[in-house]
Amino acid sequence: MRSTTATISAPTGGWNTKDPLDQMNPSYAIKMINAFPDDGFVRTRKGFTQHCAITANTSDVNTLVELPLANGTSKLIACAGTRFYDVTAASSITLGPAITNSTWQHVLISNRILFFNGTDTPQMYDGTTWSQPSFNGQVHTLTPSNLIQGCQYKSRLFVVEKNTSYVWNSNTAAFQGQMHRIDYSFILQRGGTVQFVSSWSRDTGVGLQDYFVIVSSEGEVLLYSGTDPENANNWSIAGRFFLPEPVAGRRGYLGLGSDLLIIHKAGITPLSSLLAGGNNSSYASITANINQAFLAAAQDYGGADGWNAAYHSGGKAVYFNIPIPNIAQQFVLNPDRGAWAQYTGMQAKVWASFGDSIYFGGTNGRVFKAATGTLDNGAPIKSEVHIAYNYFKDRARIKRFTMIRPHVKSAPGETFSIGTDVDFKEAPFTYTTQNNEGGFNWNVGLWNQALWSAPKIRGEDVYSLTAFGRAASISFAFESTTGPYEFYAAAITFETGGLL
């Protein structure tokens, strides 16, 4: 029989749980665990290191936020247990008075943070002075401790009162003081309460169009335009959309570029798609490729606190935290490619960007810096990539797969395992190989952190196979400790047989 050699490229389309295995494009991966779909290759993720252990505090870090200061520097602020802390450096500094609930929502306004949690008195910090902002209702009675989430829009502060349809707004250019209440129960057609509010600046191609966004507990989305909520001539509905119920908590959204992403129990929806397509838009236009995995996560954990998202500008990645109790995992998006990965091993409670880096609040009063180093806080990073099945342009004939030649880059001394599955049956990994040429080894390195003595792409190592089937898939398992892995492609040789 005549031998044919075909190239299987890296699955830069990312993780796919939507398409049937028999129909999936080979540019996707059935599994992409702790590996990231980049441009032209797939790389193992970097690790994480402990950034700060809060002094004498073993509670979960449930709040983490960057405070940009007027002088161009920033501080990293955390809340765990009953106190706030400055965790900019490795040694924490206690801030503010004792509180009872460590899950706070924040608003950045005028180089200060305002914190709300619906239980304690709101808090405020400007990088130097900690205080409690003053709020009082103009006409209606306002209990400040009931304020739970907010945003800045058109030079006003807007804040949600918990378990109500009330949104309070300040006077122009004010972040405290007199507040005006609007009851949106008369507007919300699905009923429910206001879950969260946000501002959204959208580039229409002519200029910036700003909207005030209200998302209800029932998934109703209201867009308002204008500058004065109390002036009917200058405050009007610009759009009304209906999504599934948002995930639990008040952090189920993320501003990304000129869009606003809403996390709900059927996926993640960008507001731009609703504005363009109306209520006929796909609920899960961003999460379409991982729809099955996302729906399973939302079904199991959609009512749990801990859903949040953060953009890592230095790694061009968006982290969506899935609050699995005592474990947690992340669905990670390459926004340039629309490609997904699944990260495990980071027990995160909350994520935050800090400068060009990404951090997460963990358990036992610890804050970690992610996407750094070659280890997961001292442990090896374990990754797995399982490429989609490939019929090699012939779905009818049986093939005998005889050889595989992977093209991988890693640090010297690293090892990786290779497996070849046929006809949708997962088999044990066949080979484990070590790079002794200063080039690469799968399963022991961390991306962009180790010092490579002689990194190179290995493409000459050939491994024999004895596998029969119509379609084949390649799997890799990596356990890295000293350097990264990059997978570019694999050449597979096979002989084509008959139809039976």
CATH number for the domain that contains residue 129: 2.130.10.10
Where is mean pLDDT largest: 4-8, 273-277, 478-482? Answer: 4-8
Residue 183: how many CB atoms within 10 A of its CB?
A: 14
Pairing state of beta strands 177-183 and 194-203? unpaired
Among 28-37, 141-150, 199-208, the least confident range? 199-208
pLDDT for the residue 448: 38
Tell whether 190 and 269 lie within a shared domain.
yes
The last residue of one of the domains, among 342, 375, 408, is 375
**Inter-residue contact 158 to 151 (CB < 8 Å):** yes
- 52-76 b/e with 16+ CB inside 10 Å = b? bbbeebeebbbbbbbbeeeeeeebb
Number of domains in the chain: 2
Tell whether 319 and 365 lie within a shared domain.
yes
pLDDT for the residue 48: 98
Residue 459 pLDDT grade (very low, low, confident, very high; cuts 50, 70, 90): low
Q: Is the pLDDT of residue 431 over 80?
A: no
Tell whether 239 and 345 lie within a shared domain.
yes
The last residue of one of the domains, among 324, 357, 375, is 375
Residue 454 pLDDT grade (very low, low, confident, very high; cuts 50, 70, 90): very low
**Residue 399 CA from chain centroid, whole number:** 40
Tell whether 31 and 163 lie within a shared domain.
no
> Which tokens in the block code for residue 92?
């924490």
Could you list the residue range(s) of the whole structural domain that residue 107 is in?
49-375
Q: Is the pLDDT of residue 225 over 90?
A: yes
Identify the three-state secondary structure at position 488.
strand
Burial of 182 (0-12, 13-18, 19+ CB in 10 A): middle
pLDDT in tens, 335-357: 999 999 999 999 999 999 999 99
Tell whether 432 and 484 lie within a shared domain.
yes
pLDDT for the residue 482: 85
Tell whether 357 and 489 lie within a shared domain.
no
The last residue of one of the domains, among 354, 375, 396, is 375
Give the number of residues written for the chain: 500
In what helix (H) or strand (E) does residue 237 lie, and over which residues does it extend?
A: strand 235-242
Q: Is the pLDDT of residue 500 over 70?
A: no
Task: Give me the mean pLDDT over the 182-199 stretch.
Answer: 97
Angle at 482 between CA 479 and CA 485, to 5 degrees: 55
> Which tokens in the block code for residue 45?
């993720």
Q: Is the pLDDT of residue 455 over 50?
A: no
pLDDT for the residue 377: 96
| CATH label of the domain that carries residue 487 | 2.60.120.260
pLDDT in tens, 130-139: 999 999 999 9
Tell whether 411 and 480 lie within a shared domain.
yes
Closest CA to 340 of 406, 386, 289, 292: 289
Tell whether 359 and 409 lie within a shared domain.
no
Among 259-268, 371-380, 408-417, 418-427, the least confident range? 408-417
- pTM greater than 0.85 (yes/no): yes
Q: Is the pLDDT of residue 443 over 60?
A: no
Residue 442: how many CB atoms within 10 A of its CB?
A: 29
- 192-222 b/e with 16+ CB inside 10 Å = b? ebbbbbbbbebeeeeeebebbbbbbbbbbbb
Q: What is the dihedral of CA 207, 208, 210, 216, to 10 degrees?
A: 110
Tell whether 32 and 130 lie within a shared domain.
no
> Which tokens in the block code for residue 389?
């099945």
Tell whether 36 and 155 lie within a shared domain.
no
